[in-house]
Structure 1
């Protein structure tokens, strides 16, 4: 190992003396740095305007990303052209423009990398991939790629019965990143096509999207592992044994995932439904593998485990029919005009936009209470996700105003006291004494 390190250091020192520490190379380095800085400063003003124009465009996200990448490489493209011109000038003067040629090749590689990473959805991975590819290109241009790869290939290590080297592991990680990015792009494309298909129910769209994404990512990981040289047969045996032990520890998590698949398949709960479960009333925003996201009217987002939605009692207000009936109980005094009160209660629904006219609002006499005649106003709405209490409050306020206008009285508790003939009622009045 020490001999390899010493050989690599000696090669690097010799390369520096031959290719860097000369007057001819210094002049080329000066051209490279000067024209690069000039390009950056000159392009900065145009770049802001062009990026603003791209952001104002109505193109989709992918097209905007590519356009922003084209604007971003404007200075590098200009630098590449200038390097070609400088190389031609050095050649005409009888000098070897190898460094200028290398700088131009690196600029061209950076342009290709920037355009490639612009379509990657994960920006952190895209930056890592860009840095890795640029490093490989730089080593190749300066003639250092072969020595570096030979050095990494010589670093061997063993895991069990399998033998690996550092170069193979790096290649495997690079391929894994590449395959995962390809799987992400392909899954996003198919998810977009599925969501635009109006013939599929929302739950089926979610189920197909998650199934495709899982399949693509699984294939990507297996392909990357196979490229490194990992025996997938032995991995399958190991994973089956390990899965038994993990299954007992992660039983609740697995049950939630299975419950999520069942919910998506039976279409009992789907995104957009208004549900009530465990005291939570809200709209299902999203259904994930482990939980369903329910947004309440107060702005709180509850993450309900899928297992609870399967085993517990769930009220789905919009399962098959979005029409929802709401009952508003109202009590009036016994001496009030019941017929007038019923007409006024029905009139209170007029002008409330959320109340449906078909089915029309109805008023029923529901019972005779201890202190009141019990009436009930029944209305229908189609947008339960917009809230129930707010529409009830609006109608009850109008009922209050109409009852006061037409002298319909609201009841209050009353009790009659009956004194038998032989009973006695003693009343004692006490006054506070005057201490003065």
Structure 2
């Protein structure tokens, strides 16, 4: 007669996920009950008492050395930023550092004076505290607060489960919680694995993107628009590869993306036309280099310089500090004046008039000399002044001059040239007339002539 063999519940053909979950939870509670009962043994109780004493000692050490270390840090002027960040991390984790040092010292001492089993609980707590300290320090390297918290707490949970040797029990519980979607079964364990792998790969992609972007921005051989295009392409490539590899490594079947892509195509045809148009327009702008960061443009009533070129819009900063987010489609379809497209030379016009009693030849010469004496007005491209007509009250002129730096503003340079004309005309006795009208009321008697 063959001996009876026990078959795990989750291996039975007729076992339901709920039955497997119940069995895993019961096994986990059984292990917890055994662990709590073991704490009542003499040597385990002594280890718990020792741990409480070490916690108290670490707290007193933190209260005693914490303010002194903080005062010493405040006196370190001129230290590099990275060194001060390390000191801040150490100061914030001072209690845990003291506790790790104390508990490992106690473990080594007890292993020398007694059997290893008498310090088993202390060893487990020492490993947990060391792992938590390492995770807390490494997580500080992540700049995003949300991502840092997710990584820190997720890593703490994982190392705790690994050190307590509960991977199989926790894995069985998480795997039993799920549902079937067509021919694919989605479990909580699979979702967590996918999220963890994708998060790690995205972090790696983000690090590579930042490192490579800094090098591309310092490359003077590439134009500003080409730098933006290379950076955007690299970001899409790295993040897309991270998500794809993460999902594949997690066992997610990606054949359903064909149906999803069809649904996305229908959505693009109806509700995402503007978004796609802006994206395509942004790529066209970067490829043809018609507009690039640093250019001075005019679009309708908006005059300013391009600060950044995004995937959906361009950031234009005006002289008064306002930042306009102009969709890329408007830059393609509307008429845009790029003041610095091929070169930085810009010609400005000023209209003015003088009285009929002033010599127009003298007025033209004085206007040209006054404009050449203004800063930012180019002298190698000499200003010109022409008579444009004979008005009702004045002889009309136009003064044209060139500047090289439109980013410095256009209204201010026009104002400076007007002031120079005013001063020059005052010095030479040239008058700027203004219209004069005589108004008579109907029914008034004419004034007798004297």
User: What is the TM-score when the length of structure 1 is the normalising length?
Assistant: 0.86
CA distance in 2, matches of 1:178, 1:357: 60
CA contact (8 A) 2:306 2:316 kept: yes
CA contact (8 A) 2:339 2:346 kept: yes
Indicate whether 1:324 and 2:341 are aligned: no
CA contact (8 A) 1:364 1:376 kept: yes
Matching residue of 1:82: 102
User: Please, which of 423, 428, 431 is the counterpart of residue 445 of structure 2?
Assistant: 428
CA distance in 2, matches of 1:262, 1:67: 48
Q: Measured at CA, do residues 137 and 324 of structure 1 come closer, stay the same or move farther in structure 2, by a change above 3 Å?
A: same
User: Please, which of 208, 211, 216 is the counterpart of residue 230 of structure 2?
Assistant: 208
Q: Measured at CA, do residues 362 and 146 of structure 1 come closer, stay the same or move farther in structure 2, by a change above 3 Å?
A: same
Q: Measured at CA, do residues 140 and 161 of structure 1 come closer, stay the same or move farther in structure 2, by a change above 3 Å?
A: same
Matching residue of 2:69: 46
Alpha-carbon distance, 1:277 to partner: 0.8
Alpha-carbon distance, 1:115 to partner: 4.6
CA contact (8 A) 2:111 2:119 kept: yes
User: Please, which of 302, 306, 326 is the counterpart of residue 328 of structure 2?
Assistant: 306
CA distance in 2, matches of 1:100, 1:139: 17
**Which residues in structure 2 correspond to 1:178-189 (within 5 Å)?**
178-189=200-211
CA distance in 2, matches of 1:29, 1:427: 112
Unmatched tracts of structure 1, length 5 or more: 418-424, 431-436
Alpha-carbon distance, 1:33 to partner: 1.8
SS of corresponding position for 1:292: strand
CA distance in 1, matches of 2:195, 2:81: 37
Q: Measured at CA, do residues 193 and 413 of structure 1 come closer, stay the same or move farther in structure 2, by a change above 3 Å?
A: same
SS of corresponding position for 1:232: coil
CA distance in 2, matches of 1:225, 1:117: 24
Matching residue of 1:267: 289
Matching residue of 1:137: 159
Q: Measured at CA, do residues 364 and 100 of structure 1 come closer, stay the same or move farther in structure 2, by a change above 3 Å?
A: farther
Indicate whether 1:401 and 2:418 are aligned: no
SS of corresponding position for 1:164: strand
Alpha-carbon distance, 1:117 to partner: 2.9
Alpha-carbon distance, 1:348 to partner: 3.1
Alpha-carbon distance, 1:401 to partner: 2.7
Query: RMSD between aligned alpha carbons?
Result: 3.0
CA contact (8 A) 1:282 1:294 kept: yes
User: Please, which of 27, 49, 54 is the counterpart of residue 27 of structure 1?
Assistant: 49
CA distance in 1, matches of 2:334, 2:420: 38
Indicate whether 1:245 and 2:262 are aligned: no
The superposition leaves residues 349-401 of structure 1 with CA deviations (integer Å, 9 ceiling, x where unpaired) of: 45543222222333333333232222222222222122111111122123223
Alpha-carbon distance, 1:324 to partner: 1.0
Alpha-carbon distance, 1:194 to partner: 1.1
Matching residue of 1:276: 298
Matching residue of 2:3: none
Matching residue of 2:401: 379
CA distance in 2, matches of 1:359, 1:67: 60
User: Please, which of 197, 212, 221 is the counterpart of residue 219 of structure 2?
Assistant: 197
**Which residues in structure 2 correspond to 1:403-418 (within 5 Å)?**
403-414=425-436
SS of corresponding position for 1:23: helix
Indicate whether 1:9 and 2:29 are aligned: yes
User: Please, which of 135, 147, 168 is the counterpart of residue 169 of structure 2?
Assistant: 147
CA distance in 1, matches of 2:383, 2:84: 51
CA contact (8 A) 2:393 2:435 kept: yes
CA distance in 1, matches of 2:203, 2:61: 32
Query: Relative to structure 2, which stretch is displaced further, 165-174 or 373-382?
Result: 373-382
Indicate whether 1:390 and 2:412 are aligned: yes
Unmatched tracts of structure 2, length 5 or more: 1-17
Alpha-carbon distance, 1:406 to partner: 2.5
Matching residue of 1:94: 114
Count of aligned positions? 419
User: Please, which of 357, 375, 382 is the counterpart of residue 335 of structure 1?
Assistant: 357
CA contact (8 A) 1:272 1:285 kept: yes
**Which residues in structure 2 correspond to 1:91-130 (within 5 Å)?**
91-94=111-114, 96-130=118-152
Alpha-carbon distance, 1:340 to partner: 3.5
User: What is the TM-score when the length of structure 2 is the normalising length?
Assistant: 0.83
CA contact (8 A) 1:368 1:374 kept: yes
Matching residue of 1:345: 367
SS of corresponding position for 1:378: strand
SS of corresponding position for 2:297: strand
Matching residue of 2:5: none
CA contact (8 A) 1:32 1:100 kept: no
Alpha-carbon distance, 1:407 to partner: 2.0
User: Please, which of 80, 83, 99 is the counterpart of residue 57 of structure 1?
Assistant: 80
SS of corresponding position for 2:256: helix
